[in-house]
A and B are shown apart, each in its own frame.
Chain A
Amino acid sequence: MPDSAGEPRDGAAPAPGEGPTPDRGERHGWDQLTTTPSEQGTLTGGPQDRGRPGASRRRRRGAEELMVPEAEFQSYYGRQVIHTPTWKVPDVPLYLYLGGLAGSSSVIGALADATGRPVLRRTARLAGSIGSIGSVVALIHDLGMPSRFLNMLRVFKVTSPLSVGSWILSPYSAFAGVAAAAEVGGPLLASGRLPRLAPLLPLVGPVGRASGVAAAVLGPPLATYTAVLIADTAVPTWHESYPELPFVFAGSGMAAAGGLGMIAAPVHEAGPARRAAVAGAALELGLSHRMEHRTGLVGEPYKIGRQGRWLKAAKALTAVGAVGALFAGRSRAVGVASGLALNAGSLLTRFGVFEAGMASARDPKYTVVPQRERLEARRRAQAEAAAAAEGQDAGRVGSAA
């Protein structure tokens, strides 16, 4: 096999973005002209290093941070099979974070309203509104044709999580906005600086409350639909994570919203925020752990590369924030620090999960290996079933004779 000619190149990949090169031993003519110095570099092996077409089953050596034994597979010159999502950073990961923060905050706001916690209520309502405005801005900015944002609302399709999400986000934003306006408008009207609008004052409370409840109903779907949004793709790491991802996002959103409550509300009001933060952090940490381990090879991007470092940091921050929240009942300063840690953790979780999916799209390994295994397993099962059927037939013939 001429394959051996390529072995010395293992672990020395071309620069990122550059295609793989044929084996030196096989080069001739035109191929020689394309050799560039960077091809001879000693960068750590990247995805391009593998997968020359056809018989290119070989192992990558010298790669750092490898958690799973390197899979052997064939590919077309190491090129990715699916397209990398064109969604922009930070727009989309930020959207994931803001959706979780806003959605959870609205629930906290409505419950704080019902239980007489005015500062927690105000914080949560404002967070809901600002978060939803941020979400809408991020979503629109990410469109190729922002002027056509409203095209999202010309149909409702349950098969399109983005369609469902638009129909969640739009009314949510309206309700969260009204609730926040009531929060700001109440004191303004009460101050008497707008005498003409003073008659509206009695309406502010009820309207704010009703809108707050409506936003609280839409909040949890807003916080969790984003998991379906990214899971409902051919991106291997996202798709395979779909059973846990909504829970991770729900936990992450609760931790962020609880953390925000701890930052902004006084200690005596923030008890529920602290408990929400601890519960959210526990949910996020537990389900992240399960998700990263259950998914096997396609979960590898969660553990390697920069997104692996982000997710490690996210876990540390979330854990620290949750522990802090347990003690924040005694000190506002601890509450603020914990709240910041929880929000940083939530943000990093979203960026990490997002990047892990991007990495899994770029490497054909994550697309090809699981599909090939599935296909082979199915073929084996079919062959066994056929053999069993044949055996039965033979048995019948035998017994008949």
Chain B
Amino acid sequence: MSASTDSRPTTGGHRKGFFDTPSPADGTGYDADHPPRMGFFTDTSVCIGCKACEVACKEWNMVPATGEMDLTGTSYDNSSMLGASTWRHVAFVEQPVPQRAPVGLGMPGIGPGPAPAATPGGGGGCGSGGGCGSGGGSSSGGLPPVADMGDFDVLSSLEGTATDPGSLPAPSAGAGEQGPSGSPEGVRWLMASDVCKHCTNAACLDVCPTGALFRTEFGTVVVQDDVCNGCGYCIPACPYGVIGKRESTGRAHKCTLCYDRLGEGMTPACAKACPTESIQFGPVDELRRRADERLAVLQEKGEPKAQLYGHDTEDGVGGDGAFFLLLDDPEVYGLPPDPVVTTRDLPDMWKHAAMAAGTMLGALALSFLGARR
């Protein structure tokens, strides 16, 4: 990160907090020909919970470890939630669901234990990219089509030059072929890689008193390490619980959407490392189209609660630069169901504070006028 303090507009971005505009980098001091808004579309229906994104992010951004093993004891989740040193977080949700008969989808068999006879070579359509999750399950079929995790090398993957940000690689055929979630055992696993949403109306950026947080030319939100003084205001301001304060530095840190890589025309580390293309990177407009298509496919396949999260430009934060396709309600993944940028109410707050200040002044003046002594 070499964002220089002086060359970046640090005050322009906050204006956007009050007004909903779909292109957050517009009018923040950049030339009119700044790049399009870039973001992530995280399709959780193909996430296999491999955590390659978490690792790639830590490696590339040199984010320190958070502690020892950090096991939560509730699932395979060991990073709990996003924070100063967790810029990607893979949630693991183990849910009881009604048992259902396996449906043949032509998927390679990866189900746990002996696959039900109904599906030749397949263990049923587990919701999340075939990660049906019983740790001891023996593989009864081929490997997942997109990547062989055994040979997967995060670093070498990162070294590759990325595609031009404007052109997106088409998702491999296999990634789009998941079916209704659920398993013969009556349990399903949902996995989702969470990240900073890079809100259109970003509360963290609005409330930052130093201008350390700023809007990049890609429409993303980044902290300047050399300006932040660790006041911590952005931390409770974030409606998603993303940004955090790191004890070792005393400052706030969060996902930069790999600002440095974007500047070189490269794909962010997490998206580059994702073996199933659950994390897709590109211009937000293009990603939104893709998300709509993917949602239609899942709904057609009978995924009743499949929903997009953060894609709606009319929502409380004006839409997210990083949005998601979820298979259940957002709160199940630890996401707020209806987040609102706190500064939306700020004009009204100032009005109330001014009235209260006036009340105080008036009441004190009256206390003196009330009597001679």
Chain A contacts to B: CB under 8 angstroms: 1-3, 18-22, 26, 29-31, 34, 52-55, 73-77, 79-87, 103-104, 107-108, 111-112, 114-115, 142-146, 148-149, 151-152, 154-155, 157-163, 165-166, 220-221, 223-225, 227-228, 231-235, 239, 242-243, 245-247, 249-250, 253-254, 258, 268-269, 271-273, 275-276, 279-280, 283, 361, 364, 367-368, 371-372, 374-375, 378
Residue interface bits B76-103, CB-to-A below 8 A is 1, else 0: 0100110100000001011111000000
A16 to chain B, nearest CB (A): 14
Say yes or no: A371 contacts B339, CB within 8 Å: yes
Given A21-B74, A77-B75, A154-B227, 5 extra CB contacts under 8 A: A2-B186, A54-B95, A82-B236, A149-B229, A233-B233
Asked if B46 is at the interface (CB within 8 A of a chain A CB), the reply is no
Say yes or no: A155 contacts B356, CB within 8 Å: no
B199 to chain A, nearest CB (A): 12
| Max count, chain B CB within 10 A of own CB: residue among A3, A52, A149 | A52
Say yes or no: B229 contacts A19, CB within 8 Å: no
Given contacts A77-B72, A157-B209, A276-B364, contact A83 B238 (CB under 8 A): yes
Report Cα–Cα, A131/B250, bound state, in Å. Answer: 26
A260 to chain B, nearest CB (A): 13
Residue interface bits B332-355, CB-to-A below 8 A is 1, else 0: 111111110011011011101111
Residues of A within 8 A of B365 (CB): 107, 111
Say yes or no: B94 contacts A249, CB within 8 Å: no
Asked if B195 is at the interface (CB within 8 A of a chain A CB), the reply is no
Asked if B160 is at the interface (CB within 8 A of a chain A CB), the reply is no
Given contacts A1-B96, A225-B353, A250-B360, contact A151 B232 (CB under 8 A): no
Residues of A within 8 A of B211 (CB): 154-155, 157
Say yes or no: A79 contacts B81, CB within 8 Å: yes
A72 to chain B, nearest CB (A): 12
Neighbour of A21 across the interface among B73, B190, B227, B244, CB < 8 A: B73
Say yes or no: B241 contacts A107, CB within 8 Å: no
Residues of B within 8 A of A81 (CB): 240-241, 331, 334-336
Residues of B within 8 A of A246 (CB): 349, 352-353, 355-357
Residues of A within 8 A of B210 (CB): 148, 151-152, 154-155, 163
Say yes or no: B343 contacts A83, CB within 8 Å: no
Given contacts A18-B73, A21-B74, A144-B245, contact A79 B334 (CB under 8 A): yes
Neighbour of B345 across the interface among A54, A239, A275, CB < 8 A: A239
Residues of A within 8 A of B209 (CB): 152, 155, 157, 160, 162-163, 165-166
Interface size on B, residues (CB 8 A): 91
Neighbour of A272 across the interface among B14, B186, B244, B370, CB < 8 A: B370
Say yes or no: A108 contacts B339, CB within 8 Å: no
Residues of B within 8 A of A253 (CB): 360
A-B contact pairs, 7 of them (CB 8 A): A29-B136, A86-B245, A159-B346, A227-B352, A242-B345, A279-B367, A372-B329
Neighbour of B93 across the interface among A53, A228, A231, A258, CB < 8 A: A53
Given contacts A76-B333, A234-B236, A234-B237, contact A242 B348 (CB under 8 A): yes
Say yes or no: A77 contacts B356, CB within 8 Å: no
Say yes or no: B73 contacts A234, CB within 8 Å: no
Report Cα–Cα, A231/B203, bound state, in Å. Answer: 13
Say yes or no: B73 contacts A228, CB within 8 Å: no
Residues of A within 8 A of B206 (CB): 157, 159-160
